[in-house]
Amino acid sequence: MKIFLWPTSLFLFVCTICTALATPCPGPENSNQPTQCKSLRQYFCSPEEKRNVPAMTDVEYQTSLRKLRTPEFTARLQGHIQGAIQEERALTPAQKQSLSQKAKDTHLVFENEDAMELGLSENALLYIKSIRILTCGLEGNVTNAMALYVENRRIISVCPGLVRKIVSAQQTSEEMADSLTFVLGHETGHFLFKEHEALYENFKDCLLDNPTHEGLAKQSTMNIFKIIFGELRVGPHLNEIVADYWGNRAMAQMMKSNTRAETFRSNYSFICGIGNDDDGEHPGLDYRFDFLTRNDPGIAEALQCPMRPGCRL
């Protein structure tokens, strides 16, 4: 029962103390807070952010691709991801070293020709091509990205639609890296989870104890223990929750040197519309934005919103 009552009772408890001390109540409903604190979901998914993939000419797309394939792009992006790993206090130096190497050893595929440079077999290339048609659509305009293991290589396949939506041809390589930080941090996070699942045991336990897990869709089962302990809600979503964790951590690093609200919002806006609802693996947007993103101390501070209580590694 305490699970269901926790958010309300905690809020009332904190408010009672605040009233006694004659200070403003720090809840999300506080009207003194910036409007984005009321709902990050609404902030990211405002009507103007829900625009379709903008018309980018082929020349502009090719210009963007050239900038995405530069050492400057890679260095800037890796700076955000590596910074996030190094700042993680729960990790030992050896664990940081291992995660850091895996993040570095990840290949970006924006077009099929990028995969051709990885020395893969014909079958592997055909596999990547097929996956890209499935995830990006025949025209390539779906705003999607995917982490893949192919012949022992870590590959992040990025659909042209995502590049067209988030990046503009006028941006520098570094600005493009900043614009793609959340999605590429998230996809890298899948590798950091799958190859180190044991590192996330405490994190998972915390999520199970946290009442917000009630916001996750439950997978049907006859296993009564899994139902009681919330395992059915957290377990199937853990991979995506951890990926968001790293995506948000990389964003917090990026925002140390880039405070443009437009860059910040466009990083998240591509999810709006395609991932509104919980699909059994990806949590719904309210959970992702208003619990996971708001739980990142760097992001909460940059947004001037109180950090949501949640789980850290």
- Interacting residues toward Zn ion by CB under 5 A: 240, 243
Pairing, β 145-150 against β 106-109: unpaired
Question: Cα separation of 220 and 172, whole Å?
Answer: 47
Of the two residues 26 and 215, which places its CB atom closer to Zn ion in the complex? 215
Residue 243, burial from CB neighbour count under 10 angstroms (0-12, 13-18, 19+): buried
> What are the structure tokens assigned to 248, written together?
């948000």
Q: Are 50 and 272 in contact (CB under 8 A)?
A: yes
Q: What is the CA 312 to chain-centroid distance, rounded?
A: 15
- Give the nearest residue (CB) to Zn ion: 243
Question: What's the min distance (Å) between Cβ of 24 and Zn ion?
Answer: 37
The minimum distance between CB 226 and Zn ion, in angstroms, equals 23
Closest to Zn ion by CB, 82 vs 239, is 239
Q: Which is nearer to Zn ion, 147 or 255 (CB)?
A: 147
What is the nearest approach in angstroms of Zn ion to the Cβ of residue 237? 10
Ranges of beta strands (E only) in the chain are 106-109, 145-150, 153-158
CB 293 → Zn ion: shortest distance, Å? Answer: 14
Instruction: Tell me the β-bridge partners of 157.
Output: 109, 146
Rounded to the nearest whole angstrom, what is the least distance from the CB of residue 280 to Zn ion in the complex? 13
Distance of CA 222 to the CA centre of its chain: 32
> Within 10 Å of residue 191's Cβ, how many Cβ atoms?
22
- Residue 43 · residue 35 · CB < 8 Å: yes
Tell me whether residue 175 or residue 240 sits nearer to Zn ion (CB atom).
Answer: 240
Euclidean distance between CA atoms 128 and 183, whole angstroms:
19
Least distance (Å) between residue 189 CB and Zn ion: 8
Q: Which lies closer to Zn ion via its Cβ, residue 67 or residue 190?
A: 190
| Rounded-to-integer distance, Cα 286 and Cα 215, Å | 9
Measure the CA–CA gap between 211 and 310, rounded to whole angstroms: 9
CB closer to Zn ion out of 230 and 283: 283
> Under a CB-based contact definition with an 8 Å cutoff, are residues 268 and 248 in contact?
no
Q: How far is the CB of 211 from Zn ion (least distance, A)?
A: 24
When the beta carbons of 193 and 264 are compared against Zn ion, the nearer one is 193
Q: Specify the residue, 53 or 147, whose C-beta has the smaller distance to Zn ion.
A: 147
Which of 233, 184, 190 shows the shortest CA–CA distance to 79? 184
Between CA 74 and CA 61 the distance in angstroms is 18
Task: Output the smallest distance, CB 63 to Zn ion, in A.
Answer: 28
